[in-house]
Structure 1
Amino acid sequence: METIEPPNRCIHCGFSNLKRHDKRLRRVRDMNLFHKHLHLLIHVKRWRCQNCKEVFSEPLSSVPSGSHQTYRLQEHIFEQCRDTTISYVSRQLAMSYKTIERIYYKMAKNEIQDKQTSGVVGIDEIAVRKGHRYETVVTDIIKGNVHEMGADRDYQSALEILERLEDRGLKTLVMDMWWPFHKAAKQLYPDIPIVIDKYHVVQKVNHAFDQVRKAHNAQIKGLKKGRFALLKRPFRLTEKQLEEYHEESPEIAHAYYLKEWFYDLYEQSTYEEAEAFLNTWIEQAKMSPFSAFHEYTKTLDTWKIHIL
């Protein structure tokens, strides 16, 4: 591949009198094609300006200057890293960890442009190296863009990042149940409400149920294979599946319906109804024979005001 039209002007001085200097072959990685790696071989021409005598490579519309990946591949890498870890994306694309990390942070910084928030801001951690290192990221829940990023996920990191949001019209802070984030937020913005996001609240009740499933694993034939079926909502299971689990293990059925009942918390139309529902659920969970649910009720008691 190669370009047809030469550049109009020198990128250094703007002079239009250019002379071709040489041509080099450049190998650029593009999006996979049919699950196979795709590389573009581009003949990149270099030009010498007759005014300033500088030599420069012609700009390519689909490839960033000095990069070995196309724009669309870099955008794909960035989106993948937002949903999973850098290590995972590195393995999936068979690219070095350092390359994926460099692309991700470069594009994340490019996103940090709109300084004014919608007022609803989320603070969370992302795993840059699974099981090893985390970064703190602040995003706008309404606009969907990144506002700030910082190393680590401890109290000091959260404090430094949140301080930079002081003049951006914060109205609500959304986070998980990570105590350092909460501590930093309350110190800097004691009057701004904190909301625990639904994903992490529901994730913990699912985890409690899974602990029960593991404890009663031997009671149902092939239950290990049915783990993902048991984590599904009832409307995604057949009546036969529901009856089978109920007959084979009343304990599993009890825990399953306790888990499913919890989802109704987010169907309540008023604060008062939600508070009454959550208090009732906590009482029932404490009366159940499952230690995993007993532990979860302690978490709910601690964070109740921010969940509601």
Structure 2
Amino acid sequence: MDGRMAAPVPNLLNLPDYRIITVDETDDAYHIAAETLVAPRMCSHCDGTAIVSYGRREQWIRDLPMHGKRVGLYFQTRRFRCKACGKTFYEDLPSVDTQRFMTERLVAWIGPAAIRRPFAHVAQEVGVSERTVRDIFHDHVTALEAHRQVETPQWLGLDEIHLIRPRGVVTNVQECTLVDLLVNRNKETVTAYLMRLPHRQRVQLVTMDMWRPYQEAVQAALPQATVVIDKFHVLKMANAAVERVRKQLREALTTAQRRGLMHDRFVLLKREADLTDREALLLSTWVKNYPVLGEIHRLKESFFGLYDCASAAEARSYYQTWEQSLTPDHRAAFAELLTAWRHWETHIVAYFDHPVTNAYTESLNNLIRATDRLGRGYSFAALRAKMLWAEGVTKTRRRPLARQSPLREQLPPIGNAQFARPTIMGPDVSTVPVDVGVDMVALSRQLETGQL
């Protein structure tokens, strides 16, 4: 390479097995020629020691960026010939990845970087193709997956998210963490996942939406667990009735009225007790001008009171009274909710014996969509990995370890006396970190600050 000057710092690369020959600095890169310090002493084919130099070749290897510039290494790789077997071979290059033309430390850097940042950005920074980044990312995630051991929750949540198509979401309800993302919500997929859970018999409760394949998968894999329909999804159906009537009324309104009804629709969906004075005034105006909408809103509010009941029996009685108050028109508006109660009553009222909910998964869905927006065109596997292995989002809990058994060594008796060495005990309480999943608060913070 022409125009190179002697490197002023011998340890510029911090690769102790190499000697720098020349350094050429351009506007956006360092081009560094180097060679190994120690030549091989035996043949790589027969282990013979009678080897002679047989030429060189230049190998171009990418390395970690330095001072904001890309780095290309030009190794003068020596070739040798064995006098014993007659074969030739090249010396090994320490610290160079055997599968790629780059250093091991660059490979180790690209994997985690590709989790935090878009593939295209990482590829641009180090001067490789986006496909190369994807391949390294895949290998890195595969290694992480092999060692991932998330504690099986006692309260497990099942939900869904749309990433191109519906995907399964598994959560730890008690810890408010993301446990896993499944490629789909099919019964076979969910059942297989639940069957693979370590110590799956420890799952006591499963909260979910009204998706029959989820219920059947839990019944098959976790027969000991109580299924609780998440109240978030039940109440969502009640709000959907208000939305349905609002959209029907919209057809007969002027453009200005439609715009107002669309803008103010949140006051119809919000709990009346939570409305501000201004919102309450808006609601009263719409209820007064559109009595049908007001009646549906009143029934929605009344249904929400179901979850103020103290027991399953009281909730059943409350629902029967509420349903009997519906007119045929009301029943049409609340048809989805009525059908859900008929098919899922046992699991809906199970909430009153086990008041657990994974309503926070709606926030999780927003996080996943935000991640999707950051990297359009990513595969599901890539998006899943970015959610599960983002740096600093793993939530751990410490659990006590069992006390160690006493270690005694008896000494021979002396006369009538018998002596023993002091008992060696482990600590009364020891702790080890337990992975309980991805902390959604930490994940949200990373998204908001642009770290992910």
Give the TM-score normalised by the residue count of structure 1.
0.66
Partner of 2:68: 42
Report the CA distance shift for 1:290/1:241 in structure 2 as closer, same or farther (over 3 A).
Answer: farther
Report the CA distance shift for 1:68/1:142 in structure 2 as closer, same or farther (over 3 A).
Answer: closer
Deviation at 1:44, TM superposition (A): 4.2
Task: Please state if 1:53 is matched with 2:93.
Answer: yes
Task: Please state if 1:291 is matched with 2:335.
Answer: no
Partner of 2:306: 265
Output aligned runs, 1:1-308, within 5 Å: 16-19=16-19, 25=28, 42-45=68-71, 53-54=93-94, 55=96, 57=103, 59=105, 65-66=109-110, 72-73=116-117, 106=141, 113-129=148-164, 133-165=165-197, 167-168=199-200, 169-217=202-250, 218=252, 221-222=257-258, 223-234=261-272, 235-237=274-276, 238=278, 239-285=280-326, 289-308=330-349
Deviation at 1:255, TM superposition (A): 0.6
Q: Secondary structure at the match of 1:117?
A: coil
Mapped to 2, the partners of 1:155 and 1:192 lie a distance apart of: 17
Report the CA distance shift for 1:240/1:139 in structure 2 as closer, same or farther (over 3 A).
Answer: closer
Q: Secondary structure at the match of 1:195?
A: strand
Mapped to 2, the partners of 1:213 and 1:112 lie a distance apart of: 51
Mapped to 1, the partners of 2:246 and 2:146 lie a distance apart of: 42
Deviation at 1:268, TM superposition (A): 2.7
Mapped to 2, the partners of 1:198 and 1:19 lie a distance apart of: 67
Report the CA distance shift for 1:72/1:152 in structure 2 as closer, same or farther (over 3 A).
Answer: closer
1:216-255 deviation line (CA, Å, top 9, x unaligned): 2236833233333322332325332122112111110111
- Checking the alignment, whether the CA contact within 8 Å between 1:173 and 1:194 is kept in structure 2 is yes
Give the TM-score normalised by the residue count of structure 2.
0.47
1:95-128 deviation line (CA, Å, top 9, x unaligned): 9xx97xx79x959x76993432231111223222
Give the aligned CA root-mean-square deviation in angstroms: 4.1
1:70-101 deviation line (CA, Å, top 9, x unaligned): 76547xxxxxxxxxxxxxxxxxxxx9xx97xx
- Checking the alignment, whether the CA contact within 8 Å between 1:20 and 1:45 is kept in structure 2 is no
- Checking the alignment, whether the CA contact within 8 Å between 1:173 and 1:192 is kept in structure 2 is yes
Mapped to 2, the partners of 1:215 and 1:249 lie a distance apart of: 12
Report the CA distance shift for 1:67/1:118 in structure 2 as closer, same or farther (over 3 A).
Answer: closer
For residue 225 of structure 1, what is the amino acid of its counterpart? H
- Checking the alignment, whether the CA contact within 8 Å between 2:170 and 2:180 is kept in structure 1 is yes
Mapped to 2, the partners of 1:41 and 1:269 lie a distance apart of: 65
Report the CA distance shift for 1:241/1:147 in structure 2 as closer, same or farther (over 3 A).
Answer: closer
1:166-222 deviation line (CA, Å, top 9, x unaligned): 623111111111111111212233331101112211221111211111122236833
Unmatched segments (≥5 aa) in structure 2: 1-8, 30-65, 78-90, 97-101, 119-129, 350-452
Q: Secondary structure at the match of 1:66?
A: helix
For residue 292 of structure 1, what is the amino acid of its counterpart? A
Q: Secondary structure at the match of 2:263?
A: coil
Mapped to 2, the partners of 1:213 and 1:282 lie a distance apart of: 21
- Checking the alignment, whether the CA contact within 8 Å between 1:111 and 1:147 is kept in structure 2 is no
Mapped to 2, the partners of 1:125 and 1:112 lie a distance apart of: 26
Unmatched segments (≥5 aa) in structure 1: 10-15, 27-39, 75-94
Deviation at 1:259, TM superposition (A): 1.3
- Checking the alignment, whether the CA contact within 8 Å between 2:204 and 2:224 is kept in structure 1 is no
Q: Secondary structure at the match of 1:247?
A: helix
